[in-house]
Structure 1
Amino acid sequence: MIEVKDVWKKYKIYQDKPVSFKERFLYKRKGVFQEKWVLQGISLSIEKGKMIGLIGRNGSGKSTLLKMMTKILQPDKGELKIIGRVSSLLELGAGFHMDFTGRENIFMNASLFGLSRKEINSKLQEIIRFAELDTFIDNPVRTYSSGMFMRLAFSIAIHVEPDILLIDEILAVGDNAFQKKCISKIEEFKEKGKTIVFVSHDNGIMERLCDELYWIHESKLVKKGKPEEVIRDYLDFLSGSEEQRLKNEVMQQENQQTSQIEVTEQNEEVNKKENKRWGNGAVEITNIAIRNPDNENKFIFTREQRLEVELTYKTTNLKVERPVFGVGIFKMDGTNCYGTNTYIDKVELEISEHGKVRYCIESLNLVQGDYYVDVACHHEDGTPYDYITKAANFSVHSKENDQGIAFLPHKWFFEKGGES
């Protein structure tokens, strides 16, 4: 149904594009531009009845490829063949006239897909009913919300009975109930043998619906194959990229600091004002690091991985007695996930003038999300020596869509029949 052979596409990126003939004539420098290849050597073949997904970061070229499939854009090099009627959902409100009513836009939009007025009349009520716009259908679409736009556009696109349906992330603006309705309709289309090309950042839906995935990165096709395999490699790539970004940020912060160990009086005052740090200073936590078992700074983990929180400290009073070190893990919304300390865990310790404390979790078992840690040193009676909130951040990445805070190991069992 779709054959893409070695397709290349470039855009002109203008530094300051002239908007009128006068500007073009008077300010010739305004026409300066750079050429950027947004697709390079893309090839793919989609059989009838297959649903394929395009994944990749924003700006990788996915939407440009879909626009070429609809013939909105033409490739600069290569060949692209489409067999059958194509219906597309590429941009919110594309093809709608803002001053026309929803009903008028149905007639106009459906006619662009090749339907006659008689065919549109036969499907009109079904389109309106599916879009859930009965009370708004005769209002100008400029009064519609983004969700109403999407419902109307999707309803038209699926009722023109296309051979090929192209969808570009537009479902993201709908509410949960209508998203489920759309996904059910997509599954129904798939069962009827329609060909679907789907772009989405929802990896769970992509893995569930698609027969094959194509990963496009920086205008090139990186990998194609089974959804679970492509998504696994894609998530590994994203984790590595995010890890490197966070490391670079930490390095930049360290370079800007005058000292990596001593905290200046000015910073101490700022921390106190922001209520991020307090205590009498008898023990001072001078550095906090989150590491992996290889003693490397780490910012992104999977739920099965080991995590270490390393605290470097110094004492300003060598007569500090019965000290307690503690660590708390919180979600970014402040939800307390877990907290403990050396007193609760009955760990005996003696501290020196300088030293390190390591808190190790063998297996995180946290669901996907962003977290921060609080760290503290205090006396057994609760007197704080040094307490730091949001001392360090880390993220947990997972292919599963578990809800809550922690992953609880579990199994499912089913029985057939049985006495009533």
Structure 2
Amino acid sequence: MILIDVRNVSKKFVLKKEKNVTLKEKLIYRGRERSEEFWALHDVSCQIEAGKTIGLIGRNGSGKSTLLKLMTRIMYPTNGSIKIQGRVSSLLELGAGFHTDFTGIENIYMNASILGLTKKEIDQKLQSIIEFSELEEFINNPLRSYSSGMYMRLAFSVAINVNPDILLIDEVLSVGDTSFQKKCINKLKELKRQGKTIVIVSHDNHTMEILCDEVIWLNKGKIVKSGDSKIVINEYLDFMAEEDGTRLNNQKQKQQIDESEGSTENQILNEEESNRWGNREIELTGLKLFNDKDQETYSFTSGEKVRLEIKYVMHKKNEDVVFGIAINTIDGIKCYGTNTDIDNIKVENLSSKGTVYIDVDSLSLIEGTYLIDIAVHKLDGTAYDYQVGKYTFQVKSNIHDVGICKLKHQWIIQ
């Protein structure tokens, strides 16, 4: 049975290029405001069967959240149609359907009534909602005193307790502490076993693969591919790695100019605004990643050998030099960091231009997207050039382990 039927759906937004602020401007420029059309979705069609858990993946701005909002009827398509059968419960953004001046309990009644429950039904479910949210101590306080994590706990608790036929979730599982995230995922698994239909938008590909029967990959408002979650997610990761590689190639053209001419003062100021700092007496002009076949790539398999190649230019002779790297998750958790001083590598007799190589025998990371920091500084930490999160790479894995790193291990059962 089809519960969600999306047929040839397109959604247009009109973006105003100028804003007339004063009454005089409004009168003078009336009817002449500059604007342009932005199509968030282009001819999208899909059908979601009862009992299926479907994930929507894609880069920011690909149309995932717009499609989910159309499914909730918060907005309507410009072209095409969407047919929904059954009670819909949604968590689209923190605070939607809540009022900050009301207490937690008052917001439970208000939000649950919006989702279709009667007062009698809410009375019966109230204790279950409060217990799941773990907000007993704060439930009589106004929501303006809640943190974003507490907001999410309350919203999720209401949404799952209205007994929906269809549950729509947009990225809210990324908010809150780890234990509550796990609790939410376990609850979604339970709803899935009960035959509920779930549609999720998330950038957590590992969670999507665990939860979803299928995923739909959107890019620039169009469906690129849909089907088995693991297959489509792997193709999506390959696509992102290729795009990131193209971005790095574009950076390399600029870096070649930097190597020959050095950075101008304006370039330095612009780059310092984007997580880069240092006096540039020694300048890092690029990073490349290679696999064990000496092929430049930004997509690896967990456990694979990796070589990092950092280019530098020395504008002023220095003997006090330390090179360093760090690898972080996409949400900023540091996985590993080291430098030549920590590893007892003495850096001396540097040429005016050169390359630093770091060989990693086994990339012991689980599947996901990672950011690389590169740095060169003095022993006391004074930065020559420090670049944070400028480079990305992907890790894929056939094993569904969890956490950050992959520990080499074996099981012995006696």
* Residue 246 (str. 1) matches residue 244 (str. 2): no
Q: Is the 8 A contact 1:372 1:394 kept in 2?
A: yes
Q: For the aligned residues, what is the CA RMSD?
A: 4.3
Cα distance in 1, alignment partners of residues 310 and 20 from structure 2:
57
Superposition map of 1:8-19 within 5 A: 8-17=10-19
Cα distance in 1, alignment partners of residues 106 and 190 from structure 2:
27
Shift of 1:18: 5.5
* Residue 398 (str. 1) matches residue 395 (str. 2): yes
Structure 1's unaligned 5+ residue stretches are 268-272, 279-284, 315-325, 344-350, 377-387
Letter in 2 for 1:365: L
Find the counterpart in structure 2 of residue 140 from structure 1. 142
CA gap of 1:83–1:335, structure 2 versus 1, over 3 A, is same
Q: Is the 8 A contact 1:365 1:408 kept in 2?
A: no
Find the counterpart in structure 1 of residue 207 from structure 2. 205
Cα distance in 2, alignment partners of residues 286 and 153 from structure 1:
46
Identify the match of residue 223 of structure 1 among 222, 225, 232.
Answer: 225
Superposition map of 1:252-331 within 5 A: 252-256=254-258, 258-259=260-261, 274=278, 290=288, 292=290, 302=301, 304-307=304-307, 309=309, 330-331=326-327
Letter in 1 for 2:307: L
| Count of aligned positions | 378
Q: Is the 8 A contact 1:291 1:310 kept in 2?
A: no
User: Deviation per CA, 1:80-114, whole angstroms, max 9, x where unpaired?
Assistant: 11110000000111111222222112111111122
User: Deviation per CA, 1:304-329, whole angstroms, max 9, x where unpaired?
Assistant: 25526487999xxxxxxxxxxx9875
Give the structure-1-normalised TM-score. 0.74
User: Deviation per CA, 1:247-299, whole angstroms, max 9, x where unpaired?
Assistant: 21231233355448x9xxxx9xxxxx958768xxxxxx998764647877666
Shift of 1:2: 0.9
Superposition map of 1:17-416 within 5 A: 17=19, 24-28=26-30, 31-256=33-258, 258-259=260-261, 274=278, 290=288, 292=290, 302=301, 304-307=304-307, 309=309, 330-331=326-327, 335-336=337-338, 361=359, 363-367=361-365, 369-371=370-372, 395-400=392-397, 409-412=408-411, 415=413
Q: Is the 8 A contact 1:299 1:394 kept in 2?
A: no
Cα distance in 1, alignment partners of residues 286 and 113 from structure 2:
64
Aligned-residue identity in percent: 44
SS of 1:28 mapped into structure 2: coil
Q: Is the 8 A contact 1:372 1:391 kept in 2?
A: yes
Letter in 2 for 1:398: V
Mean Cα deviation higher: 298-307 or 75-84: 298-307
Cα distance in 2, alignment partners of residues 311 and 139 from structure 1:
56
Shift of 1:240: 1.2
Cα distance in 1, alignment partners of residues 157 and 402 from structure 2:
31
CA gap of 1:375–1:177, structure 2 versus 1, over 3 A, is closer
CA gap of 1:277–1:207, structure 2 versus 1, over 3 A, is same
Shift of 1:301: 5.1
Q: Is the 8 A contact 1:302 1:396 kept in 2?
A: no
Letter in 2 for 1:182: C
Q: Is the 8 A contact 1:98 1:141 kept in 2?
A: yes
SS of 2:121 mapped into structure 1: helix
Find the counterpart in structure 2 of residue 348 from structure 1. none
Q: Is the 8 A contact 2:7 2:44 kept in 1?
A: yes
SS of 1:80 mapped into structure 2: strand
Mean Cα deviation higher: 131-140 or 329-338: 329-338
Give the structure-2-normalised TM-score. 0.75
User: Deviation per CA, 1:197-226, whole angstroms, max 9, x where unpaired?
Assistant: 011111111000100000000000001111
User: Deviation per CA, 1:37-83, whole angstroms, max 9, x where unpaired?
Assistant: 11111111111111000001111111111111111111121121111
CA gap of 1:340–1:78, structure 2 versus 1, over 3 A, is same
CA gap of 1:330–1:6, structure 2 versus 1, over 3 A, is closer
Letter in 1 for 2:227: G
Cα distance in 2, alignment partners of residues 275 and 8 from structure 1:
50
Letter in 2 for 1:13: L
Cα distance in 2, alignment partners of residues 135 and 374 from structure 1:
46
Q: Is the 8 A contact 1:48 1:193 kept in 2?
A: yes
Structure 2's unaligned 5+ residue stretches are 269-276, 315-321, 329-333, 378-383
Shift of 1:31: 3.4
Find the counterpart in structure 1 of residue 317 from structure 2. none
